[in-house]
Structure 1
Amino acid sequence: MIDNINQLVPYTVLTFFGELPGLPGLFIAALSSAAFSTLSSCLSSLSAIAYKDILKVRNPNISAHVATNISRLVTILFGVIAIAVTFLISNLPGSVNSLFSSFVACMDGPTCAIFMLSAFSRRVTSKGVLFGAMCGMSISLWLNLGKLFSEIPADTPLPAGPTDTCSSTSNFTSLASVIPSGYSTTTYLPLNETSTTLEHATNNLTELQEFYRVSYMYYSFIGFTVSLVIGFLASLCCEAPKHVDTRCLFEFRKHVLGKQSDNVNERTIGNANEEEVLQENKF
């Protein structure tokens, strides 16, 4: 009954709560409202950023009425793009969770590298940091698209569950319709007989396909590492910044050791004040 892993949630809801009137619809309504709430916040934020950082910079004398209309149009534009992306994602293999995590990892790793470089180094420049972030995003996106469209076999699933508690009259059917391509299957057999064996076809994979098989959980780390290294090296090739605001830099001596010494001094002063109060009370 299931030919897509994303159908597991509605199938489970119908299986467990299908006999309760209204509950499956209430679940879908709650899920949809939560998704729309998050989506509306994202669209409003994107519209505000596009207006403030792009349109407002190019046209600083724009009126409030025109700015409001432009923001509404930009929001509609981003909404249309989001709807188009949903149709694209529906045709991609894999779960929505893994696809979302994969594409978000293309941005959050390089973004973290930007903050780390900016806060921990005086030598980095804006051009070097942005160039490193673009390289990190490109590498993560390349891995993402390579895994989706290079036709590599899927990851090896867990073995079939035990059948010793199943009834001998159970109807065992072949699950060839839901097993991904690239696996060799045998017939499901009941009770203690040989169960299904799933073997991964990895004999003919090229080195590039082996590289594409890296887990999507590593995309963020890979993008972070590439952005950090290339951003720092690219900054060394640029002219060093002439003015650096030390308030934006993290210094171990100031923010860690200095904070600990301040806490010790505060405790010492507090203890001294308590002793003075106790002495005054005695007198």
Structure 2
Amino acid sequence: MEAEGGGFGTVDFAVLGVTLFLSLAIGIYYAISDRSDNSTENYYFGNHTLSPWPVGLSVSVSFISAITVIALPGEVYMYGTVMLWTAFAFTIPVIFVCCYYVPLFYRLNLKSIYEYLELRFNTTLRRLTSALTVFTFVIYTGITIYLPALVITAVTPLKLNWSIALTSLICTLYTTVGGIKAVVWTDVVQAVLILIGIVALQVKSLMVVGGWGNVFAALEKGHRMNFFSFDPDPTIRATTFSVVIGMTVFTCGVQCTSQALAQRYLSCKTLKQARQSMIIGSITNAVLVTICGLNGCIMFAYYKDCDPVLSKKIHKIDEIMPYMVMDVFSNMPGMSGVFVSTIYSGTLSTVSSGINSLANVILEDFYKPKRPNLSQKSYLLASKLFAFTLGIIMTATAYVVPFLGTTVVQIVVSAFGLFLGPVLATFTMGIFIPWTNSKGAIIGALVGSAVACWVCIGGLVYAPYHDIKQILPRNISGCVSNTFNATEGLTTPFIDHAMMPTAIPTSRLSLTTTLYSVSYMYHAMIGFVVALFTGVAASFMTGHNIASQADPQLFLPLIDNKFLPEKVRKFFRLGVPEIQPRKFYIPENCPLEEKINLNQNGTENIE
């Protein structure tokens, strides 16, 4: 892939080099400054001294990766403005996080959020959900490593394999040596770079296409003004319903049950600051996602007469954004470097979050229970070894991505959908449904995961033809000219729908045309619903818990406010006793067995 206007110059390489150097420098700085503190509490939580603003920015860019910067505009380009609802779907979950999950995890003083599942159910379920989460995030971070490597390969002589290795090495090194402080403060720098990069691209590309009026005209003519698409058919890839409902469940799973995010807000000094950090992160997230989506709209106006994929200038849609960047900024030295740095920043923030949080999950949920009496220095050394090993595994995963025949966004959402929905259902049963027992929760998680895997893998293998059929029309009639004219380009006719690739015709219903064709945005929701209903049903079949005997410390009513009538509050407690003020505190290094005893009787005071 080579842009028509120019290549990656010396200034661009310098800008990218500075970005990568800053990331490494921050990691090395915190490794040196904290060398006297060998505790895992400092390595994973910064001794709970971080402020809400840096934590909030870190939260926002933890999941604003290269996937958002590159792949989301490609989805808008292919399927229209309905994808702009993604920003809304990213915002809603913060309500649940701030109202329920942050207070609960703060109350229990958790190091791993999956520790809650042992307090509520048993050790087996804790380790099962931890393992599912580790597997899911390894796939996700592997994909995020692949995208910037693809960009570097496109604009430099460096081969894809070496690009992947370089990306992984830098991120793994600064995360391993610096811990959570390095991750958070590097994320702050990267958040600024991401904002500069995507705004710069939007301003410059708007100048080229002639403003928003021309963009909207091109979208209308290209059948992409489908922001309000209320077709209830679940097999349509992108509708208002699939994006708002399906993606909201998806992001609920990411934000409510993610160790990466929990580790950040648990690093704040107080519960109030933790909530503030999530709100700051949510607002910043929505702004960045919206800008990236609008860049996809502009990108369609830019290539409305000459689609780079159909004209074989690039191989797949995930390459279109870097291709446009090289074209738009061809006469502005350094700007291509800024945008490539933006892509790298998004990836480094996401991968560092994944490595740091997953290392903590492995330490707390698998390693410490087997070796409970080691020193803090030994645990810290083990943590760094886990982080480095995870970096290697994620690198290996990135090498597999080029062989998957669909868009990166679909791969990511489908991969998360494998287990994210069932894990969210498990926490939902534990927190809000007091009758759920451990057998029901395990059965629900397993059945939900099995169904989600079936649907996701079937969709990736058998349904690509269905997705191809839904791609909106694209045009190559203007490819004779290598220049773009903002005033003349809008009159060029679009190719007819009949010229688009079509699905293999079928005369009867089958799994390929029904279940496997369900939009990938619903995959997480399918896993969630199946796991939830199966878990509750299995609990009643195997002898459900008695609500009046439930530990109120581990339960949260959906609605509870001291200004509501007592009858209303009692109804939403579902029979669980009202929580009593503690006459004790749980120290930071309290063993899990003592936490369980404290939560059950509430009388012991540990000094």
Q: TM-score range by the shorter chain?
A: 0.7 to 0.9
Residue number among 244, 247, 251 corresponding to 2:550 in the alignment: 244
Which residue in the other structure is 1:280 paired with?
none
Q: Is the 8 A contact 1:152 1:209 kept in 2?
A: no
Instruction: Work out whether 1:82 is the aligned partner of 2:386.
Output: no
Distance apart, 1:55 and its partner CA: 0.9
Whole-Å Cα distance in 2 between the matches of residues 208 and 11 of structure 1?
37
From 111, 117, 126, the counterpart of 2:429? 117
Match of 1:53 in 2: 365
Shift of 1:216: 0.4
Q: Assess if the C-alpha contact under 8 Å between 2:447 and 2:531 holds in 1.
A: yes
Question: What's the TM-score, normalizing by structure 2?
Answer: 0.36
2:503 alignment partner, one of 181, 190, 200: 200
Q: CA RMSD in A?
A: 2.8
Structure 1 residues 143-182: aligned runs within 5 Å: 143-150=455-462, 152-155=464-467, 156=469, 157-160=471-474, 171=480
Letter in 1 for 2:472: L
Residue identity in the other structure for 1:222: I
**1:194–1:143 CA distance, 2 compared to 1 (3 A):** closer
Cα distance in 2 for residues equivalent to 1:131 and 1:72: 34
Q: Provide runs of 4+ in structure 1 moved above 4 Å.
A: 160-163, 190-194
Alignment of structure 1 residues 130-279 onto 2, 5 Å: 130-150=442-462, 152-155=464-467, 156=469, 157-160=471-474, 171=480, 195=496, 197=498, 198=500, 199-203=502-506, 207-210=510-513, 211-241=515-545, 243-251=549-557, 255=560, 258-261=562-565
Alpha-carbon distance in 2 for matches of 1:65, 1:191: 67
Displacement of 1:104: 1.4
Q: Which has the larger radius of gyration?
A: 1
Q: What letter matches 1:65 in structure 2?
A: K
Q: Structure 1's 80 and 89: CA in aligned 2 closer, same or farther, altered over 3 A?
A: same
Contact 2:431 2:555 in 1 (8 A): yes
2-side partners of 1:160 and 1:34: how far apart?
Answer: 29
Contact 1:153 1:202 survives alignment (8 Å): no
The DSSP-based 3-state class of the residue aligned with 1:41 is helix
Amino acid corresponding to residue 363 of structure 2 in structure 1? Y
1:68 correspondence with 2:380: yes
**Separation in 1, partners of 2:441, 2:418:** 16
Quote how far apart the aligned CAs of 1:205 are.
Answer: 7.0
Deviations 1:172-194 (A, max 9, x none): 9xxxxxxxxxxxxxxxxx97798
Displacement of 1:92 in angstroms is 0.7
Give distance in 1, aligned partners of 2:391 and 2:494: 54
Of residues 20, 27, 49, the one that matches 2:332 is 20
Greater Cα offset, 146-155 or 117-126? 146-155
Amino acid at match of 1:227: A
Match of 1:176 in 2: none
How far, CA to CA, are the matches of 2:503 and 2:554 in structure 1? 51
Change (3 A) 1:259 1:93: farther
Range with bigger deviation, 134-143 or 77-86: 134-143
Residues 1:37 and 1:193: Cα distance change in structure 2 (over 3 Å) = closer
Deviations 1:84-115 (A, max 9, x none): 11111221122212211111122332222122
**2-structure distance, mates of 1:10, 1:149:** 27
Determine the structure 2 residue equivalent to 1:107.
419
Q: Is the 8 A contact 1:147 1:213 kept in 2?
A: yes
Summarize the Cα distance change of 1:61–1:193 in structure 2 as closer, same or farther, 3 Å threshold: closer
Q: CA deviation at 1:196?
A: 5.7
Q: 1:75 to 1:194 in 2, by over 3 A?
A: closer
1:3 corresponds to: 315
TM-score w.r.t. structure 1 length? Answer: 0.74
Distance 1:194 1:22 in 2: 36
Alignment coverage as a number of residue pairs: 238
Shift of 1:247: 3.8
Give me the whole-angstrom Cα distance separating, in 2, the residues matched to 1:208 and 1:81.
Answer: 34
Deviations 1:214-263 (A, max 9, x none): 110110110111001111122123243464113433446x715x54349x
Q: Is contact 2:406–2:464 with CA below 8 Å preserved after alignment?
A: no
Contact 1:105 1:219 (C-alpha < 8 Å) held by counterparts: yes
User: 1:162 and 1:80 mapped to 2: Cα distance?
Assistant: 42
What is the distance in 1 between the residues matched to 2:370 and 2:434?
30
Secondary structure at the residue paired with 2:511? helix
Aligned letter for 1:248? L
Higher helix share: 2
The answer for unaligned runs of 5 or more in structure 1 is 173-189, 263-283
Residue 30 (str. 1) matches residue 342 (str. 2): yes
Residue equivalent to 2:410: 98
